[in-house]
Structure formats: C-alpha cells, structure tokens
Chain A
Amino acid sequence: MIASLQILTESIKTGKRKEAKAATEAAIEANVPPEEILNALSSGMADVGRRFKANEIFVPEVLVAARAMQTSMALLEPLLVKSGIEPEHTVVIGTVEGDLHDIGKNLVAMMLKGANFKVVDLGTNVPADKIIEAVQQHNAQLTALSALLTTTMPAMQQAVEKIHEKNIPTKIMIGGAPITQEFANDIGADGYAADAASAVDVARQLVSAR
C-alpha cells in the first residue's frame, strides 16, 4: 500500500484533518487512482464505525474523524466526478417536519458518506412532500428519516405513509431518540438503527436486499 494512503487511513481514524488533507494531496500528486484514495478513506471510517459501536470511542471522536474525511473528500470529489466514479447507492436523509434536531442525523449522514453512499441531506424540519420530491429527483434507493421528539413521531409516520401511498421505490430507515424497532414495524419502515454506526449496516442490508 502506498505510504500516503496508509497515512490517510490513519489520519481519518484519529481525526487529524490537516494530515488527512496533506496525505490526500500527496496521493493525488502521485497519481494514485481516485478510487484507491476513496477506499483508504472508507477504510478509515469503517474503523471509526467499528470502534464507535464497541464503545471504544464516542461522539466527539466520530465528529473529528468525519470532519477529516470531509476535508479529504472535498479534494477527491472533483477527481471522482472526472473519472466517472459515482457511489452505487443514493440516500436522501432528513429530520422530519416540526423537528430541528440534527446531531444524530448528521452523524448518520457522515457515516453513510464514509461508507461511500451518495448522501442528499435535506436538513431539519423537512415536510413529507419535500422528502418525496428529493427521493424521486435523485432516484434514491434509500430514505433515512430522523426524529428526536415524541411530538414529531406522527410526522415521521405520515412521511412513511406518503412514500408508500405513492409507491416510490425506496427503502426507508428511521432513527432518533424515541424511535424503536417496534415503531419502525408499526409504521411500515423497512429498517431501524439505534446509532450512526449501525445505520451503515442497516443501510447496506436494505440496498442489497432490493
């Protein structure tokens, strides 16, 4: 493995964004194929996800790792576009209407990006119609919805029902503090994840089951 890629993976794992930037620049300079750089990034984030799930690291460390990944990704993305390399799967993600909370949703979005999903982040307080519009526009195989409040769980249910009513071919996964697998079953969501690292596993299962 090329030294700069090893450094890149390590700097993602430890959240060192300056090192990540320098290593990405060095790899690009050395004409390393962009997909190999991407693999080095994803491998770093996969390790972050594994340690997060095992309670070896916590939210702050995941945030700094994700920020390092984003710094590197900003340099890499134009090259990926140029080479016609696109993520295989697209996910539309957002916090449902009436809810402004986004820490959990952002963590999930970052982890999915790190797992090489194309992520369309609609932000917070997103009405069902806007979610549907984005899913159709981007042909998203996956829709990820978040709610932190018990008062916005009905809005999540309505969004899921609307997606089903319109027969939109997307799998739906949900999460957020008051959300449970039981609630996902009740409202007809295809998947539930308790945390950002599990969200990647659930997302992969859902898109591969399609």
Chain B
Amino acid sequence: MPEPEPFEPLESYGEEGRAIASTGAGGASDLATAEAETLEKNLGGPEGAGPDKKARSLWSDAWHDLRRNPVFIISGLVILFLVIISIWPQLIASGDPLDCDLSKAQEGSQPGHPFGFNGQGCDVYTRTVYGARTSVTVGVLATVGVAILGGILGGLAGFFGGAWDGFLSRITDVFFAIPVVLGGLVLLSVVTSSTVWPVIGFMVLLGWPQLSRIARGSVITAKQNDYVQAARALGASNSRMLLRHITPNAIAPVIVVATIALGTYISLEATLSYLGVGLKPPTVSWGIDISSASQYIRNAPHMLLWPAGALAITVLAFIMLGDAVRDALDPKLR
C-alpha cells in the first residue's frame, strides 16, 4: 500500500541529534548546548500569534516568572556583587594584592588576614577580592566576543542557508574536533604577554563555533514560524525580517547558552593557568592563585580553597542564572 504522507519531522530530528552528538569536544559548555536544543525546539512553539506580541509576551512572561524565582534572585545578586567588587575592589579590601611579605608565606588565618597568606606571603583575602576583576573581565569579554562572532556567523548561515551554511557547518565541525584545552596549550604556550587579551582571544577563537551552532538552529526554527513566512510573503526585506521578526525570537537560546558559557570561560581560565599557559603574574587572578597554591596543597590547603571557592561560586551563579532564564523561557516546562 502506498504511503501518501511523508514523515515530516525526520530531517530536523536527525539534525538535532547531530547537534547534540557533536558538541563533545566543545568541552566546557556542552550541556548548555544540548539543553538549549530543546529550548530552541520548544520556542518554535505552535502558536505564532504575531512577531511583536509573541516576542514580547515570551520575555514578559519569563520576567514574570523570574522575579519570583529564588534561584534567579540569588544568582543575580551574587553576580551583581561580583561586578561591583570587580569595579571597586577597595570597597571591601583595603590592602594591596601585590604587597607581600615572604616571612609570612603559607601562614593561616590571623586577625586582619582572615584567609591567611599564600606561598609568597601575600594576603589571600585581598588577592581573592582583586582576582574577581580579572576573572569577570575574562569571562564577560570572551562571552561577548563569542556571542557576537558566533551569533552573527551562525545566524546568517541559518537565515541564508545554501553554500555558505554548508561551509560554515564544516568549519564549526573542524573546530569541534580540536579539544579546547589542547588548543589552549598549543596556542598560548608561546605567549609572553601578561595581559588578559591573548587568553580572551583564544577563547573567542575556539569558542565561537558553539554559539554559532546554537544561533543557526535557533534562526532556522524562528524562520519556520508562520508569521515570519507571512512577513516574507508580504515582501519584507531580508534585513527587516532579520531585525524585526527573527532576532527577537531567535536570541533567547543564544543568551541562555552564552550566560552558562560565561561561567565555563572563567573556569577555563583557571585550568589554563594550572597548565601554565593562562594568565601570568603580576596579573592577579583566581586561576593564577589556585594553580600556584596547588603546589602547597598538602601543607596549606587554605591557599587553594579560598580562590577556588570564589571561582566555584561565580561559575555556579552564571550556570544557575542561565538555567533560570532557560526554564522561564521554555514554554514546555511551565
């Protein structure tokens, strides 16, 4: 008996599986990618009420949910606090992170120095506070770079399709095939600059394919919405379609993944420092402090625990923020 109805969702199903399957070597933020796929799928929702109405109600619904979500409030406050002390560390730390006294090396907690001293006799509390600036800067700038580069390249590929899309997909495949930490070791091993720029540049270079894949999928989903098709039928120009109809609906998964990725970039900076290719002194960063403390871990674990704890809380805050936003935006989980 002939089957008159083709099975429609087949191709999209396959592609989606690919996307999840191939995120492996992306390292740090695979999960975000995999989970964003669902969000992407669900946001393409059944009711295409109208471009503005839909986008606005999506975000205002999400905001309505978020304001009541303790996870969002707590992680938001933690991030706000981090940003403030990154700008004005002297608000809560009066000392100088580079003012060290070797005679006090590895000493524990004492009055005025609650976290004790590190291997060079610097105050761990002051260095932990000042380290926030570097870590947050690296995280934010790398994320912004990755989101802009990946978002634009992936978005355009999804919108225009064709040869450019095919080419870009292969390029992202190539980048996914190279383990991130390994790429960092190779590229950063020759860097002598002690600024944050080489590390940020490396993260953007190896990180953009992840976001581009998300943006691509998300634009393709948005493009299939009825009202976008309608706008096209009414003769809207490409730029108008992209700016007014597609971007507002396609940007949610990109923002979610970028937020979670931000945390993982901070973590990656520390890992690179541990491998000796990350940031270099006299820059003050959690990564540098954790990796130098790792040599003394058996005798003076406090030197490692404080900066590592600060880093973990920061990463956690960004992951939870991204999680909360994703849940709020995902109509299926309501």
A binds B: no
